[in-house]
A and B are shown apart, each in its own frame.
Chain A
Amino acid sequence: MTRPAAGPDADSLIDRAEDAFVAFRGGDDRGMEVLVDLLTPILWHAARGRGANRATAEEVVQTAWLALIDHVEDVRDPRAVLAWLLTTVRRDSSRRVRRDQRAVPSEPAVHGARQQVADDPQPDVAVVHGDRQQRLWGHVQELPERCRYLLRVVAFAERPDYSSIADALGMPIGSIGPTRGRCLEKLRRSLDTDPAWEGYST
C-alpha cells in the first residue's frame, strides 16, 4: 500500500499510526505513547459496539495493546497496525460477550440484544445533547446492527481509512458494497425523509 499524495486526506489515522509505529520499532518508546493516544478511542468504540460492557471494553482494549507488543514482529506492514488492533478487539469482545451471556442464567425472554441493553442502558435523554443529536440517535437505531457498528467505528477515523477498517471489522467492502452505498446511504435516506432533520451543517 502506498500513501496518497499530499492533500486533505494525506494525514489519515492510518498514516499517523504508521509513523508512530515505525518510530516505536526504530527504538523510540515515545512512538508507542503516541500510538496509544491516537488509537485507543477508536478501539474503545470497536469494543463497546460489539456489546462489551464498560469494564470489559477497558480490559479488551488493554489486552489488545499488550498483545501487540508480543506480536510486534508479526505486524509486518506498519500500515496494518490499526487493522491488527481492531481485529483483535472485535474478536475478543465478541468472545467475551458470548461467554458472559452463557454465564448468566438465562431468562427465556432475554436474548442477545436485550441482554446488552440490560447491561448497557440506553443513553439518558439528558446525556444526548440537544435535539439534533437525539434525532440522529433515533435514526441510527433504525439501522441494521452491522451498519450501526461499522458507522460507529469509522466515525472515529478519517475518510481514506474506511475500506481497511471495514475489512478489519469483518465487513469487507466487497461483501457489503461501498460503505456509502449501504450503511451511510441508508442513514442519509432515513434522515432525508425526516421533516424535522435540519440538514447536515453543524
Chain B
Amino acid sequence: MNDHLDDTDAVLLADLRGLHASIDPMPAALPDRVKLALTVQRLHAELAELTRAPALATRDEPVRADAITFAATSLSLMVTISGTDGRRVLDGWVTVPGARVEVHDDHGTSTTTTDDDGRFTVHDVVEGDVWFVVHPPPDSGLRAVVTPSVHL
C-alpha cells in the first residue's frame, strides 16, 4: 500500500463522509432510477407510464384493495393489491396473454406468466418499492415494457 493511513485518518475520513452525506445527500431514489434506466436499455424496452397510483390506506379501511395502472404503447398493465402484515398479493391483468411478468421487490424477483385472459397472481410480495417488467411472447412482435417503481 502506498498510503499508510492510520486510525486517526480513518476516523477523520469517516467524519468527512458524514459531513458530505449530510450537507449534500445523494437523492435517495437515484440508485433506483439508475436501475430502471439500465433495465430499459438492456431489454430495448419501453418505459410505461403510471396512469393510476395506489390510494393511501385509511384508518377506516384496514383492508387495502388498491389498483395501479401502467400504460405503454405495446401493452397496459393493471394490478390490484390486497393482503396485510407486510405481505401483499398482487392480482394483475396484462392486455397480452402468455406474457412473462417479473415483479421486482426489495428482496428479489418473482416471475409468472399471464393466462389466456391475460391474468396473473403473485403472492408474498414484500411491502415497499415494487416495479414490473413485462415480456410479451416473442411471436407477438411487441417490445418489453418496464414500469417505474411504486410503493406498496
Contact = CB atoms under 8 A, between A and B. Distances in A.
Given A45-B24, A200-B11, A65 B34 contact: yes
Given A159-B10, A180-B9, A200-B11, A66 B38 contact: yes
Given A65-B34, A162-B3, A45 B19 contact: no
A21 interface: no
A57 to B, nearest CB: 9
B3 A61 contact: no
B27 A54 contact: yes
13 contacts: A30-B108, A32-B35, A32-B38, A33-B35, A36-B38, A40-B31, A41-B26, A58-B33, A123-B23, A129-B22, A133-B19, A163-B3, A184-B5
A179 B35 contact: no
B41 A69 contact: yes
Interface string B28-50: 00110111011001100000000
Contacts of B16: 136, 140, 151-152, 155
A188 interface: yes
A89 B122 CA distance: 39
B150 to A, nearest CB: 18
A193 interface: no
A79 to B, nearest CB: 15
A136 B19 contact: yes
A36 B30 CA distance: 9
Interface string A44-88: 110010000010001001100110010000000000000000000
A22 B45 CA distance: 24
A178 interface: yes
Contact of B13 (A33, A65, A155): A155
Contacts of B34: 36, 40, 61-62, 65
Given A36-B31, A40-B26, A188-B12, A152 B20 contact: yes
In the complex, the 10 A-B pairs of residues with the closest C-beta atoms, listed nearest first = A123-B23, A155-B16, A44-B26, A155-B17, A200-B11, A40-B31, A155-B13, A163-B2, A173-B2, A65-B34
Contacts of B117: none
Interface string A130-147: 001100110010000000
Contacts of B5: 159, 162, 179-180, 184
Contacts of B23: 123, 127-128, 137
Contacts of A179: 3, 5
Contacts of B8: 188, 200
